[in-house]
Amino acid sequence: MTDDGERLAKRVAALVPCSRREAEQYITGGWVRVDGRVVEEPQHRVQQQVVTLDRDASLLDATSATLLLHKPAGHDDGRMAPDGQRLRPGAPPPARQLLTQARRLAGDEPGQRLLKRHLVGLDSLVPLETGASGLLVFTQDWRVARKLQEDAALIEHEVMVEVVGDVNPETLRRLNRAPDGVAPMRGSVKISLNSNNEGTSRLRCAIKGGQPGLLATLCEQAGLQITGMKRIRIGRVMLGALPPGQWRFLSAHERF
């Protein structure tokens, strides 16, 4: 051991005892405390500090995480910029920066702790326009990623769109037609009137495959001005009562 101490993983391996790899898993799993404080970095150096392993520590609780965010309008689409790329002046704030403990939904999955490893390698596979709000998915789980990618054309997205003015039956028919120059959508988009209220209308749009920009194109061709757009469902997973700017874990029973 050098003057600056030894790696925490080495200390834990001797404490348990276990292999160095298992020690690293205990540490990244949030089960190790140094002088009473949880430390999640295996390379952390320790000297005379007291290192303890939680009595409930388990190597079975290392599943990949999927996080659901209610993206506010004005944030980017959730996809990660290339490593080292700085945010260009005037660019929308990154949606993934909202994935912090402070913004986690109160009461979310009491037995599930947020660990640093849950925020590493998150893919966002169902982007959402910068001007839109609503459900955004970040996942480390290859099963979730495969579902969202392989079944992308079949998964239905439900989007609420607010527009200026009243929407009559003829306008609805135009909304449900394919845009000019685009092949027939074959039922991939279904738009209905949800409500009219003092000069504005709310449309309920079910669209397969997400197809960013399509709803804006349809509304423009129908002569409608969009004032708001919110995605409230992806497949069978609902946005629900999740407040804007907050996130929660995907529950074990939820499936897209």
Higher pLDDT, 31 or 137: 137
Distance from C-alpha of 81 to C-alpha of 86, rounded to nearest angstrom: 8
Which pair of tokens denotes residue 38?
A: 């949880």
Higher pLDDT, 71 or 41: 71
Residues in CB range of 204: below 8 A, 6 or more apart: 158, 159, 160, 191, 192, 193, 194
Distance from C-alpha of 16 to C-alpha of 53, rounded to nearest angstrom: 8
Average predicted confidence (pLDDT) for the chain: 87
Confidence of residue 84 (pLDDT cuts 50, 70, 90): very low
Distance from C-alpha of 85 to C-alpha of 78, rounded to nearest angstrom: 15
197-240 tens-digit pLDDT: 888 999 999 999 877 888 998 999 899 999 999 999 999 999 99
Tell me if 163 sits within 8 A of 86, measured CB to CB: no
Topology match between the domains 66-153+237-249 and 156-234: yes
Q: What is the pLDDT of residue 234?
A: 96
204-214 tens-digit pLDDT: 999 998 778 88
pTM greater than the 0.75 cutoff: yes
Confidence of residue 121 (pLDDT cuts 50, 70, 90): confident
**pLDDT of 186 over the 60 cut:** no
How is domain 6-53 classified at the architecture level of CATH?
Answer: Roll (3.10)
**pLDDT of 6 over the 70 cut:** yes
Q: For residue 211, how far is the Cα from the chain centroid?
A: 18
What's the CATH fold of domain 66-153+237-249? Alpha-Beta Plaits (3.30.70)
**pLDDT of 83 over the 60 cut:** no
Q: Where are the domains of the chain?
A: 6-53, 66-153+237-249, 156-234
Q: What is the pLDDT of residue 80?
A: 63
Distance from C-alpha of 6 to C-alpha of 47, rounded to nearest angstrom: 7
Tally of CB atoms within 10 A around 61: 15
Residue range 108-134: mean pLDDT, rounded = 89
Phi and psi, residue 172, nearest 5° = -65, -40
Q: What is the pLDDT of residue 240?
A: 94
Q: What is the pLDDT of residue 184?
A: 46
Candidate ranges 5-9, 52-56, 92-96, 102-106; pick with highest mean pLDDT: 102-106
Q: What is the pLDDT of residue 156?
A: 94
**pLDDT of 185 over the 70 cut:** no
40-66 tens-digit pLDDT: 888 999 999 999 998 888 887 667 899
Q: What is the pLDDT of residue 199?
A: 87
- Of 18-22, 76-80, 111-115, which range is least confident? 76-80
Question: Whose CA is closest to 93, among 118, 120, 73?
Answer: 73
Q: What is the pLDDT of residue 187?
A: 57
What's the CATH fold of domain 156-234? Alpha-Beta Plaits (3.30.70)
Tell me if 29 sits within 8 A of 57, measured CB to CB: yes
Residue range 155-172: mean pLDDT, rounded = 93
